[in-house]
Structure 1
Amino acid sequence: MRKSYYFVLLFYSLLISAIIVHYVFSLFNFQWQSAFGNIQTLQKFIFVLFFLTMSLTILLLLVMKFVQMATLSSIKKNIRHILDGQPIRPSHQVDIDRGFHKIATKLTLLTENLQKSENQVLQKEEVIIEKERRRIARDLHDTVSQELFAANMILSGIAGRLDSLEKHKVAQQLQSVTAILDTAQKDLRVLLLHLRPIELEGRSLVAGLEVIVKELTDKSDIEVHFEHQVDRIPQKIEEHIFRIAQEIISNTLRHAKASRLDVYLYQNKNEVQLKMSDNGIGFHREKLDEVSYGLKNIEERVYDMAGEIQILTAPKQGVAIDIRVPLLEGSEK
């Protein structure tokens, strides 16, 4: 309570006390002159007036405190009812009750919208999972399954004509089967590399990217060139950039048909730059939205870091992705 309120309350109590004293004087025909003419009587009069004023002030303060506590108790109960979804109890204060009803209405709407959003997210996740399942099944069918089928057909042909085939033709066909199986094995490794995500797990960003690069070179025919010059990057940005690099590598494995991938990671005092380019088949720029859900994930991560992304591509010209993320002063690692 502000000091001005106490002064107003004290003045109000003094005014009431004066009115009471004046009424008592009039009721018993006391004379003001006699009270002020005698010092002892004046002292008693001042003491009674002071005591009466203070008593009224304390009484008013207690009443106000009681009303305040009752109001706060009612507010707390209504807040608890709102959170529990129960009806609001009237507090006999129109403004407060109206405010509570508005809050309850907005909270109900927010809860409904949140539930709808969560349902939409779940549905979207289910759609994404279903798309990934179909993509994996398609990749298996288009690569490993077809290659194994071709190898099986050649071996069946050899088995059916083994007595009539010359040795050098049998050797040639067996070499073809071996080549097909080697290709199937590489395609399967690439697919497994995409399905098994690598975590940073306490590594630095450069160390994590080096692990990915080694996996990629060991399990695919893609040649990777990795250059880096970084110092201290905030952990959240490191995680985002690491995931972005993983997604770009995944897209390169799945779509690019590239033989080379260049990765550049540079940092200055103002920003971090990640640039990745391949020599694959590329795509039409106007079809960017149709190419990959992964590219949309990359863009969302970049925008979450207040960064910028530029995608350069053309058919048979490969893809180059340039990402720049600002570094703020005082950012914690």
Structure 2
Amino acid sequence: MVFSMSMTFLLALFWRGVEELSLRKMQTNLKRLLAGQEVVQVADPDLDASFKSLSGKLNLLTEALQKAENHSLAQEEEIIEKERKRIARDLHDTVSQELFAAHMILSGISQQALKLDREKMQTQLQSVTAILETAQKDLRVLLLHLRPVELEQKSLVEGIQILLKELEDKSDLKVSFKQNVTKLPKKIEEHIFRILQELISNTLRHAQASCLDVYLYQTDFELQLKVVDNGIGFQLGSLDDLSYGLRNIKERVEDMAGTVQLLTAPKQGLAVDIRIPLLDKE
């Protein structure tokens, strides 16, 4: 009986040693596989089958990640191309047209200089001055959008403060900013910062506003970004009627499982209220 118990004990130790050895080999092979190196064959048939199954799943995951990365790059290139076309269109619709109008007025003045009285010439020159001032402001707006502030190592609040300071320096907008934010996940900070940049760009291009108020409030479960201007507003219709910038904002918010509400009417300004759930504090 003692012999039987000893044999049982020795067999248990033997199989435990085999299992530990096989598992160590399996772990080694997994590490080699992840490093892209050739794997060593595992002796145990069952563990070998398990390893092959894990290897196959890992290959599938790798392929899926590669496809996702390629899709992300394609989307990024598409966004860049759309942005290039939008900037070219904005240059044509604003600065180019304004400079053309100024050129036509100046050309008329030069041809009629001897026939125009002093008062009429002064009126036309004032028109040219106003057009050039508008063109200069529109060009500053486009440059602000082309060379956006980056978060880099700054917090979201620091980045917003720098962005709004630059906005006040380069435009006629009166800007206010109120916030109570403590710590946010980096990914949410980046998304919110890009959304605010897009909202500011939209205000500068379309709103004809003199004031812009930015609110950023955080609770245990939610982040709220609210941006309000006193511009011309618009008749709110379907999503298809929104500008490319506002549609892009909606897509970004939905990517974070958030919601966005627009409150506007002709001559009543625009309020954009964005809510993002805070499920992960890391």
Give TM-score scaled by structure 1 length. Answer: 0.66
Deviations 1:154-190 (A, max 9, x none): 2223333434444443333222221211111111112
Alignment counterpart, residue 195 of structure 1, candidates 146, 153, 156: 146
Counterpart AA for 1:99: S
Structure 1 position 320, deviation (Å):
1.5
Residues 1:120 and 2:71 are matched in the alignment? yes
Alignment counterpart, residue 120 of structure 2, candidates 160, 169, 172: 169
Cα distance in 2 for partners of 1:275, 1:151 equals: 38
Gaps of 5+ in 1: 1-10, 17-52
SS of residue matched to 1:102: helix
Counterpart for residue 89 of structure 1: 41
Cα distance in 1 for partners of 2:190, 2:78 equals: 25
Deviations 1:81-110 (A, max 9, x none): 5332757735242x2222222212211211
Alignment counterpart, residue 4 of structure 2, candidates 4, 15, 18: 15
Structure with greater helix share of residues: 1
Asked which structure has the greater CA Rg, the reply is 1
Structure 1 position 127, deviation (Å):
0.7
% identical aligned pairs: 52
Counterpart for residue 18 of structure 2: 67
Counterpart AA for 1:91: A
Q: CA, structure 1 residues 198+268, in 2 after alignment: closer, same or farther (shift >3 Å)?
A: same
Q: Is the 8 A contact 1:258 1:281 kept in 2?
A: no
Q: Is the 8 A contact 1:283 1:316 kept in 2?
A: no
Counterpart AA for 1:233: T
Cα distance in 2 for partners of 1:247, 1:111 equals: 34
Alignment counterpart, residue 269 of structure 2, candidates 279, 296, 318: 318
Counterpart for residue 300 of structure 1: 252
Q: CA, structure 1 residues 160+290, in 2 after alignment: closer, same or farther (shift >3 Å)?
A: same
The number of aligned residues is: 277
Alignment counterpart, residue 134 of structure 1, candidates 58, 64, 85: 85
Q: What is the CA RMSD across the aligned residues, in angstroms?
A: 3.8
Q: Is the 8 A contact 2:22 2:44 kept in 1?
A: no
SS of residue matched to 1:262: strand
Cα distance in 2 for partners of 1:122, 1:238 equals: 21
Cα distance in 2 for partners of 1:255, 1:140 equals: 14
Gaps of 5+ in 2: none
Structure 1 position 148, deviation (Å):
1.0
Q: CA, structure 1 residues 125+325, in 2 after alignment: closer, same or farther (shift >3 Å)?
A: closer
Counterpart AA for 2:272: I
SS of residue matched to 1:285: coil
Cα distance in 2 for partners of 1:66, 1:211 equals: 63
Cα distance in 1 for partners of 2:30, 2:218 equals: 50
Residues 1:263 and 2:252 are matched in the alignment? no
Counterpart for residue 48 of structure 1: none
Cα distance in 2 for partners of 1:285, 1:85 equals: 57
Structure 1 position 303, deviation (Å):
6.2
Cα distance in 1 for partners of 2:29, 2:267 equals: 67
Give TM-score scaled by structure 2 length. Answer: 0.76
Cα distance in 2 for partners of 1:240, 1:108 equals: 31
Alignment counterpart, residue 287 of structure 1, candidates 236, 239, 242: 239
Q: 1 or 2 for the larger relative contact order (CA 8 Å, sep ≥6)? A: 2
Alignment counterpart, residue 99 of structure 1, candidates 42, 50, 59: 50
Deviations 1:124-152 (A, max 9, x none): 11111111111111111111111111112
